[in-house]
Amino acid sequence: MLTTKDVSPTLEEYLEAIYKLERKNGAAKTSELAKMLNVALGTITNTIESMEKQNLIKHKPYKGVNLTRKGRRIAIDVIRRHRLSERLLTDILKIDWSKAHNIACKLEHAISDRDIIRRLDEVLGKPKTCPHGNPIPSEDGEILEEELEVLVDLNPGERGVITRIVYEDPELLEYLASIGLVPGVNIQVKEKAPFDGPITLKAMNRSYALGRNIASFILVKKRHVRGGR
């Protein structure tokens, strides 16, 4: 049996962070991890070393770390618990989606029992994504990473549907909710100002100007109009 031996909440956090950085950049650099996990660089080095001993990751100095199969399995499990927790918070407890992420960071470590997770999944109606549009892995570790475009990469004229907010920061989420740019909304890019200036887009018959940094956290599903390629 594949007994994903239990790791501490701390290591769960590390694995989760590594998973995300690996997705984005191919590997997780220690400096990026330090920033993401809000700990000192030396701490990362120490922990990384012990994680490698436990066969959770592979570390190539100056290149970054990558998950082993074992590490990835646990990471995905944590992500499943995290996103189901977020759903619990927003759908059942009616907590604001901007606060859900941070609270779920604690909850995800508390609901490790298989039965609870399954029951939670059922009560929530087996949701496919978290409230911010990020996919919820299945019980056996499948995760459907759809092919999406980063909003900031769309060119003027292109259309799409807001699908995922990948940076689940309370302030960003609150802002996006306040202006109505949430998953499911159709948008069309109108203009990209030069010198890394804002992106102007149209949605719900209104016009929006977003900074590039914000637009880089939003993934959209491109809509190919009139027989697009």
Report the distance separating Cα 38 and Cα 7, nearest Å: 20
Cβ-based nearer residue to a second copy, 70 or 101: 101
Beta bridge partner(s), residue 67: 57
Q: Which residue has the tokens 């496919």?
A: 128
Q: Alpha-carbon distance 229 to 227, whole Å? A: 6
Residue whose tokens read 């999944």: 121
Write down the least CB distance from residue 165 to a second copy, Å.
Answer: 21
> Structure tokens of 105?
């960071």
Burial tier of 97 (Cβ tally within 10 Å: 0-12, 13-18, 19+): buried
Residues binding DNA (CB under 7 A): 8-11, 29-32, 38-50, 59, 61-64
CA dist., res. 125 & res. 139, Å (int): 14
Beta strands in the chain (DSSP E): 57-60, 64-67, 149-150, 159-165, 186-192, 199-203, 206-210, 218-223
Task: Give the nearest distance from C-beta 140 to a second copy in angstroms.
Answer: 21
Confirm if 215 and 151 have CB atoms less than 8 A apart.
yes
To a second copy, the closest distance from the beta carbon of 103 in angstroms equals: 6
Binding partner at 144 among DNA, a second copy, none, C-beta below 5 to 8 Å by kind: none
Residues in touch with a second copy (CB under 8 A):
89, 92-95, 99, 103, 106-107, 109-113, 115-116, 119-120, 123
Smallest gap from residue 51 Cβ to DNA (A): 8
Q: Which does 30 bind (CB under 5 to 8 A by kind): a second copy, DNA, none?
A: DNA
Residue 90 or residue 163: which is nearer to a second copy going by CB? 90
Q: Shortest approach of a second copy to residue 50 CB, angstroms?
A: 21
- Kindly tell me which of 119 and 224 has the beta carbon lying closer to a second copy: 119
Distance CA 55, CA 69 (A): 9
Q: Which is nearer to DNA, 40 or 193 (CB)?
A: 40
Partner from a second copy, DNA, none contacting 120, C-beta within 5 to 8 A by type:
a second copy
Of 60 and 94, which CB lies nearer to a second copy in the complex structure? 94
